[in-house]
């Protein structure tokens, strides 16, 4: 029996295209599932070193430590080693952007040293998780609002965080 190779080529190509096309939705779903699993990698408790910088010059203005909790579903809680008399608990949300990139924002009420409410501070972070998933770095922008919601100042910073595993 003799097979005509030239007649078989279109059939083979057509089957290959059909097979590849049929697998594309599966591959896309698998990739989406993989991305979602990667997206959960930020969940947990993180110990941070935050550096406050001058937005124009990059000069370091100060540093402090922070603890952050990234909760499944996108909730975010933050605290730091600054005086609790100067700020309330910080609450916000986080979102997975793809790859190792996340965005997170939170806000808290700010107080003067004598306990008078002075406004709200809103913080936004662009986060990049390291390859191993146990450290991240972020670029921070912050906005200070008075009690009427008017912007009174802005700020910049960076953050280096390590996952708390113990």
CA 51 to CA 28: how far, in whole Å?
40
Residue count of the chain: 166
- Specify the pLDDT at position 8: 44
> What is the CATH code for 43-163?
2.40.128.120
pLDDT one-digit tens code per residue, 110-140 = 999 999 999 999 999 999 999 999 999 999 9
CA 109 to CA 75: how far, in whole Å?
18
What is the phi/psi pair of residue 20, to 5°?
A: -65, -45
pLDDT one-digit tens code per residue, 32-53 = 444 445 567 999 999 999 999 9
Mean predicted confidence (pLDDT) in 5-20: 41
Contact 90, 105 (CB under 8 A): no
Contact 95, 105 (CB under 8 A): no
What 3-state DSSP class applies to 84? helix
What are the boundaries of each domain within the chain? 1-41, 43-163
């Amino acid at each position: 029996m003799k097979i005509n190779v030239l007649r078989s080529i279109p059939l083979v190509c057509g089957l290959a295209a059909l097979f590849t096309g049929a697998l594309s939705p599966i591959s896309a779903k698998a990739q989406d599932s993989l991305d979602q699993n990667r997206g959960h990698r930020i969940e947990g408790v993180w110990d941070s070193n935050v550096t406050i910088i001058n937005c124009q010059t990059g000069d370091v203005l100060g540093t402090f430590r922070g603890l952050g909790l990234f909760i499944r579903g996108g909730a975010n809680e933050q605290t730091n080693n600054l005086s609790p008399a100067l700020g309330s608990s910080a609450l916000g949300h986080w979102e997975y952007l793809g790859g190792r990139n996340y965005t997170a924002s939170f806000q808290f009420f700010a107080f003067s040293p004598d306990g008078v409410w002075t406004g709200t501070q809103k913080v936004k972070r662009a986060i990049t998780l390291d390859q191993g998933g146990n450290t991240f770095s972020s670029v921070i922008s912050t906005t200070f609002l008075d009690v009427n919601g008017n912007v009174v100042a802005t700020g910049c910073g960076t953050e280096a965080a390590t996952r708390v595993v113990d």
